[in-house]
Structure 1
Amino acid sequence: MKRTEFLRKTAIVFFLTLILTALHVQLYAVSFPPGKRVFDVRGYGAKADGKTDDAMAIQKAIDDCSKNNGGVVLLDNGTFLSSGITFKSNVELHLTVSALLLGSTDASKYNIDTKLSTKHPIRSLIYAPDCVNIAITGPGKIDGQGDLIKVKTDNERPDLIVLHGSKDIRIQDVFITNSCKFAVFVLQCERLRVEGVKLVNLKNANNDGFDIDGSKDVIINNTNIHSIDDCIALKASTREDVCSNIVITNCILSSRCAAFRVGPDALADIENVTMSNCIIRNTGLNGIKIQESMGAVTRNMTFSNIVMENVKGPISIRLSGWSAGPYNDSWTTFDDKDWEKGKLQNILFENIRATVPRELEMKPEFAVSPAGWLNITKLNVGISITGTSKTRPQGITFSNIDITFAGGGTAEQAAIRNVPDLERDYPEMYMFGELPAYGLYMHHVSGVVLNNVRFDLKSEDLRPAIVCDDVDDLELTGFKATGSKNAESLIRLQNSSNVFINGSRPLNNIGTFLRVEGAKSNDIKLSGNKLNFARKAVEVTVGAKSGAVSYEK
């Protein structure tokens, strides 16, 4: 009787094992296409106990996979502690939901990039030099333990993933977190697709999300990035490698600094960029920041269908030089000797909704911010577009924009004139301090169009909604803004020319609609505006000629 019961239970266990094995095989048959070989790192000696360094086993699996016409290197069910590993062509590193790749806390055991001559070594946990057809996939996690890595100087901090000179790259579904520096550094690569990634990088200052440097044909889609420094940054660190054809869509971004940044370290051109259908939240400096400071060309960019919530500065655009200033010990040498040749042109912003706080709602991760950062976030800023007497951003259009600002600007701030060029200071939205406009400030700019743009205020602001200083070829069509009866004007033009304002109106009772100043102001025309809320339509003063403005009275 006992023997019969034993045999019955044994048979049940046997058949259950067969069923579970079949299910397991079927699972991987779905995950990996038929014919794609799987190289399980456990078969190469990986312990996955979170204590043993499994780098050698993982590297052997990668090498074997690449030598055998490629396939999948599998990390499953465990914590795989690892020092530096190097990718090879035709390898997909796949982390199942039960897998954690944990970076070693000893930075000296990480890879060093030897392809780019830099002042300081570029180290990384995962390094992919000159690879073709590679991927990092799966719902598992890569944790760099960046807060536990100790280095002698800040410039010795390693990145988590460095891709250099590689092509046909896919990063999909994985959770990337806690780098010591940049999370994913993409140098001179082609055809990168990022899909469904979650990236959280909050442990140290200068924790970027994706840095795309001198790379082409990049798509970042359906991705959630929460970082201390820039979520996505476009760069060109050599004069030979342009950064072009970049698509960012369906993403949620949050940063202590900028959600999306272009430059300023752009020695070569950055062009053909689109960003669409994104939400930017809880961001300390700019939602979108575009800077050119090295004499190259930044051009042909569109930003559409974007919502910004609790974002301190919605948009900042700057064309100038950068003498490296306090950053002269950065990872590479930036030479701005040709900065006066730089161009920034053909930028479109459309269908954007934003709310700008007076003081940024503090988040726990901002505790790692450098000294003085909280004072910066208290600046009462809006949109700024600035060049210098030698460089002018041009061809910038805003269409269907609706932004609510906090207000609180003073008459003293409104009275600010002669904002300095600061032509070789480090370019940032806060470089000029408080600006005289609550909504949009422009200085040394050409060819700007505002079409159906609306600025609202949560509380009274005594600054104009728009201030233009040395701006030419400006068109405001359907512009609407809240102002104050106590403010000098809703719009102020200083030494600006070739201006057309039509179909525009204040949203409440104000004093003066348009104030014109400066001897260089001329060829300014108003037509078809609704100005019954304004006590005075136009005031021409401070050196401007009476014939500088024509309008319907």
Structure 2
Amino acid sequence: MSAAANRRTALRLGAAGAAGGGLAMSGATPASADPSTAGVVAGPVFDVRRYGAKGDGRTIDSPAINRAIAAAAKNGGTVFFPAGTYTSYSVRLRSDVTLHLDRGATLLAAQPRDGKGFDAPGEGAGNPYQDFGHSHWRASLIWGEGLENIGIGGPGRIDGAALVRNMTPESPPGTGDKAIALKLCRNVVIRDVTIVRGGHLSILPTGVDNLSIHNVTIDTVRDGINVDCCRNVRISHCTVNTHGDDAIVLKSSYALGFPRATENVTIADSMVSGYDVGTLVEGTFGREDPLAADRDGPTGRIKFGTESNGGFRNIAISNMIFERCRGLALETVDGGLLEDVTISNITMRDVSNTPFFLRLGARMRGPAGREIGKLRRVSISDVTVHNADPRYPSMIVGLPGHDVEDVRISNVRVHMRGGLSMTEAAEQPLDLINTFFAEPGAREPYAVPDRPQSYPEPSMFGILPAWAFYVRHATGVRMDNVDVHFERPDTRPAVVLEDVRDADLHRVRLSKAEGAPTFVLRDMSDFALHQSRPVGEARIPGHVVHEEL
């Protein structure tokens, strides 16, 4: 590893809906199994072995599995997988059917061969307004479109061994890239399963209403749970490890051919992480691989976006653990509204970029004529962060003339590793910035480019001239009982507020390096600071061009 890479790595990582009911047997089901609790369907049980599945890890069992599903769909029922390894191509869900993988059962994605493989992506694949993987559903291990009352349950395993991570329209016929993909479905329960090697997207519901994902474990390279254009979603008691991409991500793409909001979502009592791939389910929790494919640190976070045509409304995130991964990212860059979001009771440890990233941008990947979106009414409270990357303060960043509005941050404690200075903010040294996102080259420290059309990522701005908070193009920022401190002195200002109106900070405690200002106010109007340290009180009711406190 080069000296530059060593320096970068050191800074990044630091030192350290069930339904019950009687079972009418249609196949041999062990007395210990209760498949009726796996999903939303009660009724007869259809054992896949009765329909020809071998479960020997060699035979392609998807034809037999699909026969069992067809039989169950006639009047509703549960398709039961006893212990064994069911090597398969596409499993085609139907309405009123639950798949139940019993303990010791694995549904294994088979390698395409002899002209056979996963289903073709289907009509409409390749919509240009989002990544190809979000534009099709059928090239998956399990898929369904236009269904209702469906379930997938464990305690068995789904192994996407043969699924690819970067499928394109030019990929060979038979290629698959998702473990579970659902389009325009309703009343869906996914619970108690483990998913490993999930391809590009382990779980992709698009346009799904009334969705519950409960007690699911995912260990994969790319996205874990990817909720797109969905309404009434409950994600709870999940453990999602995704070193190279986002763990739980909300999107509102144009994949359906029209914008549709993701709304009424709760994410609770779960853990996201960026351990080395496979080491979560192994129980070794590996920390050897320092970078994701985009050359930032391990991903594994909760994110809104980047696809954001339809927007995000009424979202509550609570009781979460972030471990060795990036922090929260709330992004709307394609014209959608992001509003009415509450985030509470979060702990983060070994954060590989910023704890909080709120970004209103103007990428506008969608049909022409859309207006820039809005980001407003966000509350973040009761958060503890330890060992965060010193290059990236928490950020609230809009655009000129398009402010982020009404953000409240309270009861937050953040430990930053520190150790940087305004020299790095001016020089933008190549060993510290990520040129995958940031523009290289020295600059005046406060001359941070707006980059309205760029892909949103905390590293997009390079080394910022603040170490605790960087707030730009915002209105109505409130902070109360916020404590941010560094381990080693950082001589950048703690907080920079630029083009901000109406900022009220109460009981804010910040570390201070000798000779460095705590606050820098630029093009600031109506600033108030109360009962804080090291600056106790300040009130600026008017406008200031540049003032340091």
Q: Deviations over 1:139-176 (max 9, x none)?
A: 10000004778977787651111011111101110001
Contact 2:506 2:531 in 1 (8 A): yes
> Shift of residue 71 of structure 1?
1.1
Q: Identity of counterpart residues, as a percentage?
A: 28
Distance change (3 Å), C-alpha of 1:410 and 1:338: farther
Task: State how far apart, in whole Å, the 2-side matches of 1:268 and 1:102 are.
Answer: 34
Q: 1:266 corresponds to which letter in structure 2?
A: S
Task: State how far apart, in whole Å, the 2-side matches of 1:187 and 1:139 are.
Answer: 25
Q: 2:241 corresponds to which letter in structure 1?
A: H
Q: 2:273 corresponds to which letter in structure 1?
A: S
Contact 1:490 1:513 in 2 (8 A): no
Task: State how far apart, in whole Å, the 2-side matches of 1:419 and 1:513 are.
Answer: 28
Partner in structure 2 of residue 408 of structure 1:
419
Partner in structure 2 of residue 221 of structure 1:
236
SS in 2 for 1:194: strand
1:499 aligns with 2:527: yes
Distance change (3 Å), C-alpha of 1:336 and 1:522: farther
> Shift of residue 412 of structure 1?
2.1
Contact 1:237 1:265 in 2 (8 A): yes
Contact 1:302 1:348 in 2 (8 A): yes
Q: Which of 370, 381, 392 is equivalent to 1:350? A: 381
Q: Deviations over 1:18-68 (max 9, x none)?
A: xxx99943644886899721100000011111111000100000010011x
TM-score, normalised with respect to structure 2: 0.79
> Shift of residue 309 of structure 1?
0.4
Partner in structure 1 of residue 337 of structure 2:
297
Partner in structure 1 of residue 59 of structure 2:
52
Contact 1:346 1:396 in 2 (8 A): yes
- Structure 1 residues 435-444 or 122-131, which shifts more? 122-131
> Shift of residue 388 of structure 1?
1.3
Partner in structure 2 of residue 282 of structure 1:
324
SS in 2 for 1:322: coil
Q: Which of 70, 76, 80 is equivalent to 1:70? A: 76
TM-score, normalised with respect to structure 1: 0.78
SS in 2 for 1:59: helix
User: Counterparts of 1:120-199 in structure 2 under 5 Å?
Assistant: 120=132, 121-122=136-137, 123-146=139-162, 158-199=177-218
Task: State how far apart, in whole Å, the 2-side matches of 1:242 and 1:413 are.
Answer: 40
Contact 2:29 2:82 in 1 (8 A): no
Task: State how far apart, in whole Å, the 1-side matches of 2:260 and 2:231 are.
Answer: 9
1:397 aligns with 2:405: no
Contact 1:455 1:480 in 2 (8 A): yes
> Shift of residue 264 of structure 1?
2.2
Determine which structure has more spread, i.e. the larger CA radius of gyration: 1
Distance change (3 Å), C-alpha of 1:143 and 1:23: closer
Q: Deviations over 1:475-515 (max 9, x none)?
A: 0011111111221x111111101111111112xxxxx8899
Contact 1:111 1:127 in 2 (8 A): no
Contact 1:210 1:232 in 2 (8 A): yes
Contact 1:143 1:176 in 2 (8 A): yes
Task: State how far apart, in whole Å, the 2-side matches of 1:409 and 1:186 are.
Answer: 42
Q: 1:433 corresponds to which letter in structure 2?
A: G
Task: State how far apart, in whole Å, the 2-side matches of 1:450 and 1:336 are.
Answer: 37
Partner in structure 2 of residue 483 of structure 1:
512
Distance change (3 Å), C-alpha of 1:307 and 1:338: farther
Distance change (3 Å), C-alpha of 1:32 and 1:245: closer
Q: 1:171 corresponds to which letter in structure 2?
A: I
SS in 2 for 1:111: coil
Contact 1:310 1:355 in 2 (8 A): yes
Task: State how far apart, in whole Å, the 2-side matches of 1:394 and 1:450 are.
Answer: 14
Aligned length: 463
SS in 1 for 2:31: helix
Task: State how far apart, in whole Å, the 2-side matches of 1:318 and 1:472 are.
Answer: 17
Task: State how far apart, in whole Å, the 2-side matches of 1:447 and 1:392 are.
Answer: 9
Distance change (3 Å), C-alpha of 1:113 and 1:218: farther
Distance change (3 Å), C-alpha of 1:151 and 1:344: closer
Partner in structure 1 of residue 361 of structure 2:
320
What is the RMSD of the two structures over their aligned residues, measured on CA atoms? 2.9
1:89 aligns with 2:95: yes
Task: State how far apart, in whole Å, the 2-side matches of 1:268 and 1:98 are.
Answer: 41
Distance change (3 Å), C-alpha of 1:499 and 1:381: same
Return 5+ residue gaps in structure 1 as ranges. 1-20, 324-333, 359-378, 507-511, 525-539
Contact 1:349 1:398 in 2 (8 A): yes
Partner in structure 1 of residue 315 of structure 2:
273
Partner in structure 2 of residue 532 of structure 1:
none
Partner in structure 1 of residue 5 of structure 2:
none
> Shift of residue 295 of structure 1?
1.5
SS in 2 for 1:458: strand
Contact 1:414 1:462 in 2 (8 A): no
Normalized per residue, the structure richer in helix is 1
Q: 1:86 corresponds to which letter in structure 2?
A: R
Q: Which of 310, 332, 336 is equivalent to 2:350? A: 310
Partner in structure 1 of residue 287 of structure 2:
none
Task: State how far apart, in whole Å, the 2-side matches of 1:146 and 1:306 are.
Answer: 35
Distance change (3 Å), C-alpha of 1:514 and 1:501: closer
Q: Deviations over 1:251-308 (max 9, x none)?
A: 010132251111121111211101000000000xx32101111112110001100000
SS in 2 for 1:57: helix
1:231 aligns with 2:242: no
Contact 1:467 1:493 in 2 (8 A): yes
Task: State how far apart, in whole Å, the 2-side matches of 1:288 and 1:49 are.
Answer: 42
Partner in structure 2 of residue 16 of structure 1:
none
Return 5+ residue gaps in structure 2 as ranges. 1-26, 275-297, 427-444
Task: State how far apart, in whole Å, the 2-side matches of 1:179 and 1:154 are.
Answer: 20
Q: 1:409 corresponds to which letter in structure 2?
A: L
1:443 aligns with 2:484: no
Task: State how far apart, in whole Å, the 2-side matches of 1:144 and 1:448 are.
Answer: 44
Contact 1:157 1:181 in 2 (8 A): no
Task: State how far apart, in whole Å, the 2-side matches of 1:148 and 1:211 are.
Answer: 16
Task: State how far apart, in whole Å, the 2-side matches of 1:352 and 1:154 are.
Answer: 45
Distance change (3 Å), C-alpha of 1:307 and 1:116: farther
> Shift of residue 116 of structure 1?
4.8
SS in 2 for 1:495: strand
Partner in structure 1 of residue 397 of structure 2:
386
SS in 2 for 1:209: strand
> Shift of residue 114 of structure 1?
3.7
